[in-house]
Amino acid sequence: MTTPPEAKRLDVGDKAPDFTLTNDKGETTSLADFTGQRVVVYFYPRANTPGCTKEACDFRDSLAQLNSAGIAVVGISPDKVEALAKFRDEHELNFPLLSDPDKEVMEAYGAFGEKKNYGKVVQGVIRSTFLVEPDGTIGLAKYNVRATGHVARIIKDLEATNS
């Protein structure tokens, strides 16, 4: 039995993998849409689950602060567009949610692969967050993040990189 290769991880300074995915409104959104600005791209396992809802609502509640620092936010999960629209509406989310059902973008960012779930090693979405700089490079890469308090930690990290 062979072990699947470990997910490729991105580091600060790496070129951010480009993507074009369908958003929660059924329209396409690309990383190129954010050229020239900073954007937080975060990956989460599933809409309307406790951890993912907590994380999304934290981004929602912090969006004005992030936007005032010139940072946009995009969330990506393997959910279908209809599930993303429901998630957006139920929680009044104010940033785009993108559908990556084939997990190709997740794999390109190293946000899909082996992880531990209740002590078992499984293949799945690795909760991860990246800051893509205006030049298209990775400015921050966080893997295996905890949903609770994550956005506050990201803001603190961003403030530290700006000082």
52 classed as catalytic:
yes
DSSP string, 45-112: S-TTSHHHHHHHHHHHHHHHHHHHTTEEEEEEES--HHHHHHHHHHHT--S-EEE-TT-HHHHHTT-E
User: Is-contact 55 151, C-beta < 8 A?
Assistant: yes
Catalytic residue of the set 41, 52, 66, 111 = 52
Active site members? 52
